[in-house]
Amino acid sequence: MRIDVITLFPELFERFLAVGMVGRAFSTGAAQARLRNPRDFGLGRHRSVDDTPYGGGSGMVIRVDCVVNCMEALDAEAVTPGETPVRAHRLLLTPQGQPFTQQKALDLASRPAIALLCGRYEGFDERVRSFVDEEISLGDFVLSGGEVAAMAVIDACVRLLPGVLGNAGSIEHESHSPALGGLLEYPHYTRPVEFRGLRVPEVLQQGNHAAIARWRGQQAEMRTTERRPDLWEKVKKERS
């Protein structure tokens, strides 16, 4: 899987791409990352990529030509010599986008290449939207730039790639996974059996796997109804 990141601050990703499960994905070759600054395609002596908005208003707007030239240059380059270039599935990170979900992470992780477009300032010239495939949001809030959102998307996707997690079963029964029917994950416990009056449930200590499975299913439903009633309503509709 190839992941291209278009950002004015590529240095923010250098450490992120080198540690933990994300670092393993890129060090083992399960994924390849390319960071590209739109300023490489900026204008004038200062490599300007933004300008004042038409119609007036505060802030600066990122130019469409600089961004599109950057994305197209990445698509024209092969990751390795002799390889046929692949056009990335382009994602604009914006609070106006569709909510990012586990299902979307599964979809993106199955693609050969994605490009994450990180904004800054007052955002992009509206015409940028004509050159992307999807718009994605982490939630109903605004960040100072798209870099943190891009990191979240990268983390969610690369952990799904084969061989990245030490135990492939780790992603099967987790919150929002198909195996759990989209529910929140059930509670987990480990030693000690008791800590300050809080005990590990007896059913988990008895080794009855059928009973444990029933308990975990009940706990997943209970946790979802209590913490995410909106999600529980969605699950009920899908079950009916």
SS (HEC) of 105-160: HHHHHCCCEEEEECCCCCCECHHHHHHCCEEEECCCCCCCCCHHHHHHHHHHHHCC
139 is in an annotated binding site: yes
204 is in an annotated binding site: no
> On the CB side of 135, how many CA atoms lie within 13 Å of its CA?
13
Question: Using CA atoms, how far apart are residues 197 and 208, in angstroms rounded to an integer?
Answer: 24
Question: Using CA atoms, how far apart are residues 47 and 121, in angstroms rounded to an integer?
Answer: 16
145 is in an annotated binding site: no
Question: Using CA atoms, how far apart are residues 148 and 215, in angstroms rounded to an integer?
Answer: 37
141 is in an annotated binding site: yes
217 is in an annotated binding site: no
133 is in an annotated binding site: no
> On the CB side of 70, how many CA atoms lie within 13 Å of its CA?
30
Question: Using CA atoms, how far apart are residues 157 and 227, in angstroms rounded to an integer?
Answer: 25
Question: Using CA atoms, how far apart are residues 79 and 113, in angstroms rounded to an integer?
Answer: 11
From the list 94, 55, 54, 87, the residue with the least C-alpha distance to 68 is 87
44 is in an annotated binding site: no
Question: Using CA atoms, how far apart are residues 202 and 172, in angstroms rounded to an integer?
Answer: 24
Work out whether the CA dihedral 232, 234, 236, 238 comes out positive or negative.
Answer: negative
Annotated binding-site positions: 119, 138-143
Annotated binding-site positions for S-adenosyl-L-methionine: 119, 138-143
